[in-house]
Amino acid sequence: MAAIIGASLSLVGSLFFLLSAIGLLRMPDAFNRMQAGTKATTLGSMLFLVGIGLMRPDFLGRALLLAGFIALTNPVSSNALARAAHGYRKRLGAKLAPDALAEDDEALAAAAVRDAAAGSQAPRVQEGRHVD
Amino acid sequence: MKTLKARVLVFLTLWGVWLVLTAPWSVQEAAAGAVAAFLIAALPFFPSSPLEDLRLSPKALLYVVAYAFVFLKALVLSNLDVAFRVLHPKLPIAPGIVKVKTKLKTPLGRLLLANSITLTPGTITVETRGQDLYVHWIKVADADPVAATEAIVGDFEKYLEVICG
């Protein structure tokens, strides 16, 4: 019985992998590909691991541990990719209808220019961000 | 010792992972893991850790369990939502980056919130600055920060506030 449930969970998980692959092909730019590609894999891989754990109970603990590591590390890499993609958004041709981050970046840069003009300090370069 | 709580949590985490990895248990293996975990947790130069922000009252622990369920529900619902958008012939997306203001004060709380947002499909945290999170949203329903905050983090924040302020 547990084997059947585990097998169907794995099947559903692999369906989510298929969906994310379709999304990767269909989505127009880097951000949306990330949404479809790396995100559908969270539920997909978690269901897959739980399914394998149910089919082979001696692996259940280890499979859950793996799911936990995916939950901890996936957002870190996605965040790094998204930050980098935002720096190069114009070259990637990304369309962002409201882009609050770019607006705030421009406001910060404008404030830095004003500071430099007023106080004749060296212009502050914005730290850690590639401005395209 | 200021870092005592973080050291205890590190010891329990390391030992717990070790015990799960060596699943059919033997006393020798468990003892060796406990010694190694203790040595790591007792290192003299222990970095200050965001784990100290974790609250360990019974109410907070209850909220950790509740948060796991709330998060799983959000994960499944948003996965289905993104799956629907991917399969829809017209590809109904309207991507954009919105600003979200969080009430959480501690670094651990903000980290957990940003990671939860990234893990739920449809939203990726692009950048955090102080109390502002910049979130890429696959279908921007509302660009206004207050409404966007309510839509994206409303559910998570209630629980995280109790768990780690």
Angle between helices A30-55 and A2-26 (to 10 degrees): 170
Q: Residues B149-164: what's their mean pLDDT?
A: 78
pLDDT at A125 over 60: no
User: Does B53 fall in a domain?
Assistant: no
Same-domain pairing of B150 and B132:
yes
Strand order in the sheet with B96-101: B96-101, B132-137, B123-129
Tell me if B62 is assigned to some domain.
Answer: yes
B86 neighbourhood in chain A, CB within 8 Å: 19-20, 22-23, 26-27, 36, 40
| Same structural domain, B79 and B31 | no
Query: Does B39 or B55 have the greater pLDDT score?
Result: B39
Asked if the structure places residue B154 within a domain, the reply is: yes
pLDDT at A89 over 60: yes
Taking an 8 Å cut-off on Cβ atoms, the answer to whether A104 and B129 are in contact is yes
Question: Residues 50..109 of B with a Cβ closer than 8 Å to A: which?
Answer: 75-76, 79, 82-83, 86-87, 91, 93-99
Rounded to the nearest angstrom, the minimum Cα separation between A125 and chain B is 17
Q: Are residues B101 and B36 in the same domain?
A: no
Do B32 and B66 belong to one domain? no
Instruction: Identify which has the larger pLDDT, B159 or A96.
Output: B159
- Which of B99, B132, B138 minimises the CB distance to A35? B138
Q: Tell me: the pLDDT tens digits for A12-60?
A: 989 888 888 888 888 888 888 888 877 667 888 888 898 998 888 888 8
B65 shares its domain with B16: no
B85 and B25 in one domain?
no
Residue B10 belongs to a domain: yes
* Residue range of the domain that includes B25: 4-48
User: How many domains does chain B fold into?
Assistant: 2
DSSP code, position B100: E
> B65 and B42 share a domain?
no
Q: How far apart are CA A101 and CA B117, in angstroms?
A: 16
Residues B150 and B126 in one domain: yes
Q: What is the pLDDT of residues B99-123, one digit of tens each?
A: 888 888 888 888 888 888 888 877 8
